[in-house]
């Protein structure tokens, strides 16, 4: 079977559209979950630094800025785990099905 | 869908205006220290071990695929460690801790900026990169565009970034090693250059990868041990650590909140933007995605790399904050015993002094050896990326049009590695005592304005044409280099002019936006037959990018 035939088959397979749609939406959603808080954080540390001066508890000297920054790092990492988990499971299964059906 | 991602990318670009991007840790003028025997002994153990690995790797390196990508046989976990090894340089350890030591919370903002690119690389770039590429990023940039022009241009982009970065690392290596080991600057630079040549020339990607992995483990292990030792001195209490830090630092409570570093919102936004896309445009980082057998492992490697990098950054924050009270109040670490005066060895030394204070001479020797190993690993990754741009892109594809045999290509790539090694030594010595901070700006400027636009657009935008990519790349190159020359670091500090013509040290947003705009404009107005063929070829590329159909598999033997 020719290469372009396989491409046409993949393209016409509704599972391909499903795969691309789901994965793209997922990737954009996760990117926004990382970027929106991150850029808000960057703007606020620049324009409203006093917002980060509150203490984590009464009598503590630690400001909320420290756990917030740590949280951005930790959540960023956890989200990579969320993405890999779904991509290596659901998305890869769909991809395999699409490829298998195209080669039939 | 494609459109929405393009819109997302464009939106991110608009969200910020000017990139100001500072690499942590330029090491200012330092004087030679007494020869440090324990550090040298431990470093020799590392050298012997890595040379052993290189010998083993050389036996396995028979084809070009072995050389460039370790035969695609690296696992996701190993590659994750190696990526972390590529990204965590000695400057990261020294620079980030010193930033927290001097500026408190501002150092943490920097660390977040250096980190945040990684999740985005995973979500938007990693698997497409793996599915489309073979050996170099130029493979993807020129996938459906003119092989001669775009591949040549992408290779030049890679080489430019590699050379700038290499000089920064070599100069840093010379200064750091003369400080920590008591070796002459020129000796140190030569040792680094020769070891790098040996690793890369004989062991290729396999040796380079294992050097990275060992170095990443040493750096993480050393950093975490140091953190635990340090925390034990504060009764395992962060509260206690920060109370002491506030008492010891002249900024007092201000230490705990964002300070002046990010006061200009434009430069704050641009800093983050430049780092984000500059990281995604570093050729030695992109190359690592081809060492794994498939997209699944490529994703895993970013997951592990992101975890290790994040962990390491958090560790450096604790070390920097702890150094404020431990180092900052101990006269032994200041010149002439003047507490609050000039730190012995310069502003990048807090973490080294901290090591000495809590771990003694043996631990200091160990961490010095790790710092040396770190530099070696980073320059090796750079040299390999540079050599592959010369041999795979320029020689095998552009000059020989794909007719070169594997032996010929390997010979060229080894000559290129040796050539880069010699160039690195010569340039390292030539730039001795120069302020090389502007080279960091140049490296990230070119990475984000030349490499990144063509990479992302070739993957996501059907309308990209050779004409657009070429002129967009040229616009990015000229503007990023030009704006760095007009920036405060070069125009004022090096040329001695009164005021900078371009107010920000880092050009990325202007130059990157310009690169995207020119690429777009000259692509959409390109009505040539070639442009039509290129648009038609997107379909095949798109399906391969999405499914991995036809992607290079593992080349294991």
C-beta separation of B425 from B190 below 8 A: yes
Task: Say if the Cβ atoms of A65 and B257 lie within 8 Å.
Answer: yes
**Residue B343 CB coordination number (10 Å):** 21
CA distance B276 to chain A (A): 10
- In the predicted model, is pLDDT for residue B343 greater than 80? yes
Residue A50 in this model has a pLDDT that exceeds 50: yes
Closest-CA residue of A relative to B316 is A70
Query: Sorting pLDDT into bands at 50, 70 and 90, what band is B36?
Result: confident
8 Å CB contact of B239 and A60? yes
Cβ(B153)–Cβ(B407) under 8 Å? no
pLDDT-derived band at B181 (thresholds 50, 70, 90) equals confident
B448 closest CA partner among B459, B458, B456, B436: B456
At B552, is the pLDDT very low, low, confident or very high (cuts 50, 70, 90)?
Answer: low
Shortest Cα distance, chain B CAs vs residue A58, angstroms? 12
The pLDDT tens digits of the residues spanning B71-96 come to 888 999 999 999 999 999 887 888 89
Confidence of residue B195 (pLDDT cuts 50, 70, 90): very high
Query: What is the tens place of the pLDDT at every residue in B295-310?
Result: 999 999 999 999 999 9
What is the pLDDT, as a whole number, of residue B318? 97
Q: What is the mean pLDDT of residues B122-133?
A: 92
Question: Which pLDDT does position B458 carry in this prediction?
Answer: 93
In percent, the amount of chain A with pLDDT more than 90 equals: 77
Residue B112 at interface with chain A, using a CB cutoff of 8 Å? yes
Chain A residue numbers touching B549 (CB-CB < 8 A): 6, 10, 99, 102
Domain map (residue ranges) of chain B: 2-27+34-547
Asked whether the predicted pLDDT for residue B25 surpasses 50, the reply is no
Two tokens at B91?
């400057």
pLDDT beyond 50 at B28: no
Of B5, B12, B112, B254, which to mutate for an interface test with A (greatest number of A Cβ within 10 Å)? B112
Mean of pLDDT values over B396-411: 91
**Residues in chain B closer than 8 A to A38 (CB atoms):** 112, 116, 272
**Number of CB atoms found within 10 A of residue B433's CB:** 10
Residue-level pLDDT at B29: 45
pTM given for the model? 0.89
pLDDT of residue B33: 66
| Residue tagged 């070796």 (tokens) | B183
pLDDT at B555 over 50: no
Task: Note the CATH number of domain B2-27+34-547.
Answer: 1.20.1730.10
Q: How far apart are CA B15 and CA B415, in angstroms?
A: 44
pLDDT value at residue B133: 87
In this structure, are residues B64 and B406 in contact, taking their beta carbons and an 8 Å threshold?
yes
pLDDT at B205 over 70: yes
Residue of chain B nearest A71, judged by CA positions: B112
Give the domain range for residue A48.
Answer: 3-103
Residues 192-251 of B with CB under 8 A from A: 238-239, 242-243, 246
- If one counts every other C-beta atom within 10 angstroms of the C-beta of residue B217, the result is 15
Minimal CA separation from B411 to chain A, in Å? 34
Flag whether pLDDT at B556 surpasses 50.
Answer: no
Residue B190 has pLDDT above 70, yes or no: yes
What ipTM describes this predicted complex?
A: 0.95
């Amino acid at each position: 079977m020719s290469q372009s035939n396989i491409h046409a088959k993949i393209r016409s397979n509704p599972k391909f559209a499903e795969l691309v749609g789901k994965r793209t939406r997922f990737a954009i959603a996760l990117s926004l979950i990382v970027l929106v808080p991150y850029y808000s954080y960057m703007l606020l540390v620049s324009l409203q630094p006093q917002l980060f001066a509150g203490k984590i508890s009464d009598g503590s000297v630690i400001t909320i800025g420290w756990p917030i920054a740590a949280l951005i790092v930790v959540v960023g990492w956890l989200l990579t785990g969320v993405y890999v988990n779904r991509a290596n499971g659901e998305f890869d299964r769909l991809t395999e099905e699409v490829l298998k059906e195209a080669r039939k | 869908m494609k459109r929405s991602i393009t819109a997302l990318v464009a939106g991110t670009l608009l969200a910020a205006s000017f990139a100001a991007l500072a690499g942590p840790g330029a090491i200012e003028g330092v004087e030679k220290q007494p020869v440090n025997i324990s550090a040298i002994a431990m470093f020799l153990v590392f050298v012997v071990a890595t040379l052993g690995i290189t010998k083993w790797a050389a036996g396995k390196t028979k084809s070009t695929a072995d050389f460039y990508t370790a035969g695609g046989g690296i696992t996701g976990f190993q590659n994750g460690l190696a990526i972390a090894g590529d990204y965590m340089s000695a400057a990261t350890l020294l620079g980030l801790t010193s930033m927290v030591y001097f500026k408190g919370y501002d150092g943490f903002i920097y660390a977040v900026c250096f980190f945040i690119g990684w999740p985005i690389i995973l979500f938007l770039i990693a698997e497409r990169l793996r599915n489309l590429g073979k050996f170099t990023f130029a493979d993807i940039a020129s996938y459906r565009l003119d092989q001669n022009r775009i591949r040549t241009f992408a290779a030049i982009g890679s080489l430019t970034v590699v050379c700038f970065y290499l000089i920064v690392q070599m100069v840093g290596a010379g200064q750091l090693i003369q400080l920590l080991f008591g070796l002459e600057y020129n000796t140190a630079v030569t040792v680094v250059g020769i070891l790098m040549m040996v690793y890369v020339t004989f062991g290729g990607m396999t040796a380079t990868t294992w050097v990275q992995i060992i170095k990443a483990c040493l750096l993480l292990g050393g950093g975490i041990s140091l953190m635990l030792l340090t925390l034990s001195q504060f009764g395992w209490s962060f509260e206690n650590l920060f109370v002491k830090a506030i008492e010891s630092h002249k900024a007092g409570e201000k230490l705990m909140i964002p300070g002046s570093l990010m006061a200009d919102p434009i430069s704050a936004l641009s800093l983050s933007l430049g780092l984000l896309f500059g990281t995604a445009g570093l050729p030695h980082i992109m190359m690592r995605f081809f060492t794994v057998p498939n997209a699944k492992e490529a994703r895993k490697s970013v997951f592990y790399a992101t975890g290790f990098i994040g962990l390491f950054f958090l560790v450096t924050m604790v070390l920097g904050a702890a150094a404020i009270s431990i180092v900052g109040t101990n006269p032994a670490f200041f010149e002439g015993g003047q507490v609050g005066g000039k730190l012995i060895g310069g502003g990048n030394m807090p973490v080294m002094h901290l090591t000495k204070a809590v771990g003694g001479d043996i631990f200091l020797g160990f961490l010095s050896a790790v710092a040396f190993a770190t530099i070696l690993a980073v320059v090796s990754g750079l040299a390999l990326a540079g050599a592959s741009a010369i041999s795979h892109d320029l020689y095998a594809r552009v000059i020989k049009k794909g007719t070169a045999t594997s032996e010929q290509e390997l010979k060229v790539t080894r000559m290129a590695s040796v050539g880069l090694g010699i160039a690195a030594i010569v340039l390292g010595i030539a730039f001795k005592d120069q302020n090389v901070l502007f080279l960091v700006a140049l490296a990230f400027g070119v990475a984000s304005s030349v490499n990144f636009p063509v990479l992302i657009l070739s993957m996501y935008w059907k309308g990209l044409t050779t004409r657009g990519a070429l002129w967009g790349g040229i616009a990015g190159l000229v503007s990023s280099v030009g704006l760095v020359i007009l920036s405060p670091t070069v125009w004022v500090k090096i040329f001695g002019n009164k005021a900078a013509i371009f107010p920000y040290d880092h050009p990325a947003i202007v130059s990157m936006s310009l690169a995207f705009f020119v690429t777009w404009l000259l692509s959409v107005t390109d009505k040539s037959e070639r442009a039509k063929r290129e648009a038609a070829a997107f379909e095949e590329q798109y399906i391969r990018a999405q499914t991995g159909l036809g992607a290079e598999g593992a080349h294991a033997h």
